[in-house]
Amino acid sequence: MIKECPVCHNDFEARANQKYCSPKCKKNNENSFRTLKSGRGKSGVVKIPSTRIKCPQDLRAVATKYWHKVAPILIKRGHLNVLSEDAFAELCDLYSSHRRRRVTLLRASS
């Protein structure tokens, strides 16, 4: 049976269940789907979603500073998104508590 390969568009002789002319074309087709599903463009750069991730209003001052220092880097790399926003806010709050306890201990020891 003569078929046309959906990737390279070459005619080839194939079995009934065979779709691609070679394993290379099959792999190229799978990779093209994989890059489309991951949200990456042809350049490989992750697209940032249109929803803006904002610093929560209920964070302490130290936590807010930490948020504004680290969050832009994480957003640019694609690690901080809408799903991980609350967990990162909790991390900022824990960092603030740690800093406050450390300062308290330093003052008590001197």
Q: Is residue 73 part of a domain?
A: yes
Number of structural domains found in the chain: 2
Say how far residue 87 (Cα) sits from the centre of its chain. 15
Predicted TM-score (pTM) above 0.85 = no
Q: Tokens standing for 103?
A: 């300062």
Q: Is 2 helix (H, G, I), strand (E, B) or coil?
A: strand
pLDDT, tens only, 28-80: 888 776 644 445 555 555 555 546 788 999 999 999 999 999 999 998 888 88
- List the one residue out of 105, 64, 110 whose CA is nearest residue 88: 64
Q: Is residue 92 part of a domain?
A: yes
Token pair 């390969």: residue:
5
Residue 13 class from Cβ within 10 Å (0-12 exposed, 13-18 middle, 19+ buried)?
exposed
Q: Which amino acid is at 97?
A: S
Q: Is residue 85 part of a domain?
A: yes
